[in-house]
With several copies, the nearest count.
Chain A
Amino acid sequence: MIRKVVPNVTQACQGIKNGMTLMFGGFGLSGIPENAIAQIVKLNKNHLTCISNNAGVDDFGLGLLLQKKQIKKMISSYVGENAEFERQMLSGELDVELIPQGTLAQRCQAAQGGFPAFYTPAGYGTEVAEGKETREFNGKWYVLEKAFEADFAFIKAWKGDEAGNLIFKGTARNFNPNMCGAAKITVVEVEELLPAGALDPNQVHIPGIFVQRIFQGENYEKRIEQLTVRKRN
């Protein structure tokens, strides 16, 4: 068994440099690597390119990096919950590349799996396809999209073991598994870190081979963005 455990977030985040490209798992505020984000804020690294489906909210998630203007460029599919983001984008302070959500997922998956490029129908005929190669297969048009190239992927899992095997919970799974192994170094924080052998090998979502560092996360806030409930009868 190859051990991937590091003792804390400080060591897990070693090696981050100004100007690097970082991936972050999560959808909205669900399944985001809270500990790693806090550490990157603390490290005050800047000129970062961040790949993440969303950009957090004003005072949480990647919004914390935006507040401190650590982000030079955002690659996302939806950023609609963040006023500071919108301000920086419209003023031109922040470079933003908006891409279809499925394309975002597959550009991660391609990086993980050694595919340099793939054809997808998403965005054909729109400004997303501008400057990109397009091509017809079986009478339908597709856009050529490339694998991401990133330095770090920051992942949040539910349970993990010392070998780096991961299990995600509910819809906190989202982009997290797709980003594992999609960057040079994959750093995972977990709610529960277990000894090797504690996870059923049949139920592992992501094998440890895609993970370089794993650590026990702390103090999860797990904020809810849109609390929607029913009244009990």
Chain B
Amino acid sequence: MALSKEQIAKRIAKEVKDGYYVNLGIGIPTLVANFVREDINVEFQSENGVLGMGPFPFEGEEDPDLINAGKQTITTLPGASFFDSAMSFSMIRGQHVDLTILGAMEVSELGDIANWKIPGVMVKGMGGAMDLVASADNIIVAMMHTNKAGESKLLKKCTLPLTGVGCVKKVVTNLAVLEITKNGFQLLERAPGVSVEEIVDATEGNLIINGKIPEMVF
């Protein structure tokens, strides 16, 4: 069965290693924080200017001067720090952040990503995404495998305006875990109960299938 958003987040959480500084985008990526193993040390950076984010505040303890990049009220953990936007992007551009997890509208088999604009329909802006994808070595995309019309979001070539080129390393969808390789999307794992055929049908870009594809383990 296809994964829920929570399950996608849970699977991605396994990619978070001890000692990582992690930037989480809005949407499914934000959920990843809830599933990171408790026995490893990780710090979450938010590009609006905080490192060491904690959970949401208790009711009544929210502070309008303490939000994340999704404008949600947050808390901090011991060892946290605040900084200005220029320093925040020095962390990102200077590759001090170890892992970036973000959502996407489309990903191409070359690792291109589009997630900020649908011409004539919707333009929210790129926010920090263009800096993140242009800089980070380790970028994981969290998204549904297909859009609401049932069309594949894993394409040969993105049709929407790009956010970055050749930057995505891994994609985790409701159907599969895929790695971007020179030759396209290498299928690594499939969602429990989802067949390789279903993934093939839902993937427009070149899909590489080597041997037996295991089911995800959480």
Q: Nearest-CB distance from A60 to chain B (Å)?
A: 12
- Give the residues in chain A near B49, CB-CB below 8 Å: 27, 171, 173-174
Instruction: Provide the bound-state CA to CA distance between A208 and B122, in Å.
Output: 38
Most buried by A among B91, B92, B126, B166: B126
- Give the residues in chain B near A106, CB-CB below 8 Å: 86, 89
Known contacts A126-B163, A229-B58, A102 near B83 by CB under 8 Å: no
Q: Looking at chain A's contact residues, is the secondary structure mostly helix, strand, loop, or mixed?
A: loop
A189 CB–B CB distance under 8 Å:
no
Give chain A interface residues in 72-128, CB to chain B under 8 Å. Answer: 76-81, 86, 89-90, 96, 98-106, 108-109, 111-115, 120-128
Chain A count of residues within 8 A CB distance of the other chain = 84
Per-residue contact bits, chain A 117-157, to B (CB 8 Å; 1 contact, 0 not): 00011111111100000000000000000000000000000
Task: Return the chain A residue nearest B116 by Cβ.
Answer: A98
Other A-B pairs beyond A86-B122, A105-B86, A226-B73, 16, CB < 8 Å: A78-B127, A101-B131, A102-B88, A102-B93, A103-B130, A113-B86, A113-B94, A114-B90, A114-B94, A122-B93, A124-B134, A171-B68, A174-B49, A195-B78, A201-B81, A227-B72
Chain A interface (Cβ < 8 Å from any Cβ of B)? 1-3, 27-31, 53, 76-81, 86, 89-90, 96, 98-106, 108-109, 111-115, 120-128, 158, 161-163, 165, 168-178, 181, 195-197, 199, 201-202, 204-205, 207-210, 222-232
Chain B interface (Cβ < 8 Å from any Cβ of A)? 19-21, 41-43, 45-52, 55-74, 76-97, 112, 116-117, 120, 122-131, 134-135, 161-166
CB-defined A-B contacts under 8 Å, sample of 15? A2-B79, A28-B67, A30-B48, A101-B126, A114-B135, A120-B134, A121-B134, A124-B164, A162-B79, A171-B65, A171-B68, A201-B82, A204-B81, A205-B84, A230-B58
